[in-house]
Amino acid sequence: MSQTTERIHELVEKLNRYRHEYYNEDAPSVSDTVYDHLYDELAHAEKEAGIILSNSPTQTVGYKAVSSLEKVRHRIPLLSLDKTKLVSELVSFVKDHAALLMLKLDGLTVKLVYEDGKLVEGSTRGDGDEGELITHNIAAFRNVPLSIPYKGHLELSGEGFIHKSDFERLKDTLTGSDGKPYRNARNLASGSIRCLDANTCKEREVSFFAFNILEGMGEFEDMKDSRSSLLLTLIDYGFGICPFVPIPAGASAEEIEKQIQNLQELAEISDIPIDGMVLRYDGLSYSASLGRTGHHYNDGIAFKFEDDTYETVFRSIEWKTGRSGEIAPVALFDTVEIDGCEVSRASLHNLTFIKKLELHPGCRILVSKRNMIIPHVEENLDRGAYEDMVPDACPCCGQPTRIYSRLVVNVPLTEALYCDNPECGSRILQKFVHFAEKKAMNIRGLSESTLEKLMELGYLETYQDLYHLDKYREEITALEGFGEKSYENMIASINESRNTTFVRFVVAMDIPLIGRTASRILDGHFHGSLRELELAALDRFDFTCLEGIGDIMSANIQEWFRNSDHLLLWHNLQKELNFENGLDAEASGEENNMNGTNNSTFAGCTIVATGKLENFTRDGINARIISLGATPGSSVTQKTDYLICGEKAGSKLAKAQQLGVKILTEQEFLEMTAS
């Protein structure tokens, strides 16, 4: 920023403060003579630089009002960017091209157009192709240049936003068009920028930072291909620009994470509301070569801290009985589009969650896609009218329901709804669904609707019946939606599942809390022998001696094998199957393909993973640990050799530090396994 431009900003801020003291507080801190001297200096500097800021005290033009916001088409579409929550994807994005990492401001995107040095148009982003004219409000912004020394055509985009401290000061005195208080600074900024009366916008303290030049400044030969150089030039024209840092080609995860942290700290110090970061290539010609989709440009990616929320109307709850008997509540609401997908339902988890939200039909709710995948109800905007929608009977079998409380580790006591009828059709169906899932017997293409139809016809009563459906060939091929090809594909998938593993079989048996990770631990200890596992359980073997198996899991295994029906299933089903020996061959093969043979560094070690990992699910990291000849642990003890830490590591990290356990970042673990 040139000295003159910097002085203009300084004088505008100082004179506006003095005016506030004089007119609003009746406590001037400077004399009229001093004020007049500074005013004259500002007027001279504005004339010399050709820069006049929207909030300059030299401007006496009144603030306009309009009757409605006209629509305007964007000649250059203002599309969004693809999103991620993984730093690893930022690393992949950078590759061989330098980029800029900048704050993702939490406000409303605005486009400004200048002709011959004068602001001629301001508009909102809208849907990217069409926005709304807000030119009348731009003069009410804190810091937008109304006049600039650049005389060519210039279009740029940026963010209109309200500083967090201003929002805190204003939020209790303002309400939106619905008569309710603004929930956050973003909503207040959006409402203020779209006000019909610029005087109202003026009271809201809206600021503007530019982040992209859409058109113009092509005559600057030495910098026309550099996004960063052009943005920095805007500073000399009086613009505030969105804070950014350069990211070199080939930057590592550690480098990018460090810069994200630096920018977060800057935003906090500067009182700027953000909801993530934006990574965009610096080279404009390279950016242009990447093109776009119908939704976003391909030259940038947004790194999100939190998921976007969307308002819709809650209608009712659908209840579905699962294989354990727990009846899961699902929210049904008016369809809303999130990340290009239509969403109209989301899990409500349990009764405690429903009561906490105070849901009732017709209330306005906020929904999101957590991690951009799972629909979730975030908030009820119309609290205070909770309506009990809990059914007294199971929606499937009609038996009375039971409310029970449960305590999950690190989670407060919660209430859930339960069906105690073991013959409930929905419970039995969900058991078959689980049995056929990929992580269990992996019967590809066998859908829940097909299983339900086969059960209704009486063809399926036990898992064993799946392997003898050939006796119903004529009946099945005659069913609507079936035929010879569909039947052959289904039977082929079922027969392929006959070749299975210890781990898949144990998972398919659905022993409470015994999933793939625990099954792999059992596989390793009992050498892939189902007979050894059975005898150990019947002999009340203490499974807690195995790292990763806790008290409840141990009790569940013992109790499951003491049930005569379970034992009959265990023995009869094995007659239908062919087992591979040793560890889960599929998991071992996958990991060995990735890493070669077992890494001697970790062989025989006990490794615990904690926190949110970027490259692994919980089962995925445990599978990787097992493939290295190590044992995955669930808690940090003196027997723990390594702790792999992701984000929000919590108490396990503190325990590891206390015990002197070797602590690895996820990246360090990956580098050691790759070596």
Q: Phi, psi at residue 247, to the nearest 5°? A: -120, 115
**All domains of the chain in start order, with CATH:** 3-46 (1.10.287.610), 71-304 (3.30.470.30), 309-419 (2.40.50.140), 425-497 (1.10.150.20), 586-675 (3.40.50.10190)
pLDDT recorded at residue 22: 63
User: How does DSSP classify residue 63?
Assistant: P
pLDDT recorded at residue 517: 84
Taking the CA atoms of 102, 107, 110 and 116 in sequence, report the sign of the dihedral they define: negative
pLDDT recorded at residue 583: 42
Distance of CA 463 to CAs 125, 445, 459, 493, Å? 56, 16, 11, 15
Count how many Cα atoms sit within 13 Å of the Cα of residue 674 in the half-sphere of its side chain.
6
User: Cα separation of 296 and 282, whole Å?
Assistant: 17
Residue where the block lists tokens 């892939």: 528
- Mean pLDDT, 10 residues at a time, over the chain (675 residues)? 81 82 69 81 86 77 71 88 86 92 94 94 89 91 90 94 90 72 82 89 91 88 84 91 94 93 92 92 91 80 83 94 93 85 89 90 89 81 85 95 71 81 94 94 92 93 94 91 90 94 95 90 90 90 88 93 91 90 43 44 84 74 75 80 82 83 86 70
Catalytic residue among 85, 104, 202, 369: 104
Residue where the block lists tokens 């242009």: 288
Give, in degrees to the nearest 5, the angle at Cα 449 between 445 and 450: 55
Instruction: Tell me, yes or no, if the pTM score tops 0.85.
Output: no
pLDDT recorded at residue 178: 62
Please indicate whether residue 224 is annotated as part of the active site.
no
